[in-house]
């Protein structure tokens, strides 16, 4: 289940998230089973993040870094 503190940081915006992530690279980030539908995640650093079962329908992932992220069972439909 998602870490509520981490999710709250992400919802403050990509700049806030990336700044936090840069200072906390060794922390296990768990955003699993959350609703990120229609979120603006463009440019977000999500490297190694647990996104299992997350709803990402319609989210803007342009330029997001998702390497080593666990996207098992995530719903990743994006706008056409």
What pLDDT, on the 0 to 100 scale, is given for residue 80? Answer: 58
pLDDT digits (tens, 9 = 90+) for 26-80: 999 999 999 999 999 999 999 999 999 999 999 999 999 999 999 999 998 755 5
Q: Report the sign of the C-alpha dihedral through residues 5, 43, 19, 47, in that order.
A: positive
CA–CA distance, 38 with 67 (Å, rounded to integer):
21
Q: Find tokens 């996207």 and name the residue.
A: 71
pTM of the model: 0.90
Report the pLDDT averaged over residues 19-25: 97
The torsion of the CA quartet 62, 68, 72, 74, rounded to 10 degrees, works out to: -20
- Domains of the chain in sequence order: 1-80 (2.160.20.80)
Look at residue 76 in the predicted model and tell me its pLDDT: 85
- Per-residue pLDDT at 79: 56
């Amino acid at each position: 289940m998602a870490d509520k503190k981490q999710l709250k940081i992400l919802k403050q915006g990509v700049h806030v998230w990336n700044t936090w992530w840069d200072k906390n690279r060794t922390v296990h980030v768990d955003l699993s089973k959350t609703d990120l539908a229609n979120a603006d995640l463009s440019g977000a650093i999500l490297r190694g993040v647990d996104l299992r079962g997350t709803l990402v329908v319609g989210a803007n992932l342009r330029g997001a870094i998702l390497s080593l992220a666990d996207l098992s069972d995530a719903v990743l439909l994006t706008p056409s």
